[in-house]
Structure 1
Amino acid sequence: MEEIVVTEKDRDAAVRRLRDAYADGHVTHEEMDGLLHRLLTAGTRGELRAALATLPEEDPGTTAEIAAAAGRIRRRGPWQVPRTLKVQSALGHVRLDLSRAIIEHPVVDIEVRLGTGRATITVPRDAIVDVEELATGWKAPLYRPRRRSGGAAGPTIRITGAMGLGRLRIRHARR
């Protein structure tokens, strides 16, 4: 599988994590110099992860969970998106609309656990979506990445988890 190229936002987050580890005394000055060089010259996200592997785990921030055995799960409008969101539905329909949501984190992790239900996630127009760690049982997710227009990139939405017989559709907001 082709590695994802590092964006400036990825690199900034990695440098921030290194800086925090140094400030907390987890990294010596010499180690920081070497790691900083690796971070600034990394070409892929895999190289970034390898350089950060020796650092303590970063604070995951807030986590929220939404679950329903059957029925609907719906979030839309101006709602606060946590750093990590866990969504579980055995039989129901999940609809998450992040297009007008308040997203304060550069990376949002959405862990989806679907049984036989369907899910639709609408992400902001400028969001970067990563579905590499999503395990599918029956059908692959429906997602077509947006072409980059050269403007500033929005938040990274990482979608992980597992789907049984359900179907996940991911789309970018039109505005």
Structure 2
Amino acid sequence: MSELHVRVADEDRDRTAQQLQHAFAEGRLTPAELDERLSLVFSGRTYGDLLAVVSDLPAASTAEETVHLETKNGHVKRSGDWDVPRHLRVTSKYGSVDLDFSEAVLSHPVVDIVFDLTYGSASVVLPPGASANVDDFANQWGSTSSDVPSRPRPGVPHIRVSGESKYGALRVRYPRKRWFTH
């Protein structure tokens, strides 16, 4: 049996979806093409199915992308138009952390965030429709709250949050609605 006829796992589909989202972020695919191809990826059964969806795109990078943000007393803030790495490690002893993904470039279908907070708190703002799982985040004396769905859904970003906080809080939410007046 040819490798093209071997059945794929969810991890293979996720990796292919990541390659498509990266190509979209680079401007190689239109939004309609991305949606169409993601649909084919998540319904694909074999390596041949997945290969057909990405055969006209540059090969995906195999390097794992990790960014470490660290502060002792300051404030870690990322917002606006910024590239989100596949893995994000955030360490804060006394400061606060604000990660706003609502306008960010999310090239990966799944992003892992590991928090190491002592006294600081963290706020994570997701783009509308995205999901986040905070089940692997431990909080000793603070609180953890999430106002977004926790299960991943095809075609939208999913954030996996892990790590710990001794006294701080973690909050995951969507952007606040803006009211405009004429």
TM-score by length of 2: 0.61
For 1:94, the equivalent position in structure 2 comes to: 97
100-109 vs 120-129, which moves further: 120-129
User: How many Å separate the matches in 2 of 1:134 and 1:164?
Assistant: 11
The within-5 A match list for 1:5-20 is: 13-16=10-13
Runs of 4+ in 1 over 4 A off after TM superposition: none
User: How many Å separate the matches in 1 of 2:135 and 2:13?
Assistant: 24
Structure 1 vs Structure 2: percent identity of aligned residues?
34
Aligned match of 1:164 in 155, 163, 166? Answer: 166
Q: CA deviation at 1:142?
A: 1.8
User: How many Å separate the matches in 2 of 1:72 and 1:18?
Assistant: 33
User: How many Å separate the matches in 1 of 2:146 and 2:15?
Assistant: 33
For 2:69, the equivalent position in structure 1 comes to: 66
* In the alignment, structure 1 residue 132 sits paired with structure 2 residue 135: yes
TM-score by length of 1: 0.63
Q: Deviations over 1:90-131 (max 9, x none)?
A: 000111101000000010000011111111110111111011
The within-5 A match list for 1:136-155 is: 136-146=139-149, 153-155=155-157
Q: CA deviation at 1:60?
A: 6.8
For 1:26, the equivalent position in structure 2 comes to: none
Structure 2: segments with no counterpart, 5+ residues: 1-7, 17-44, 46-61, 178-182
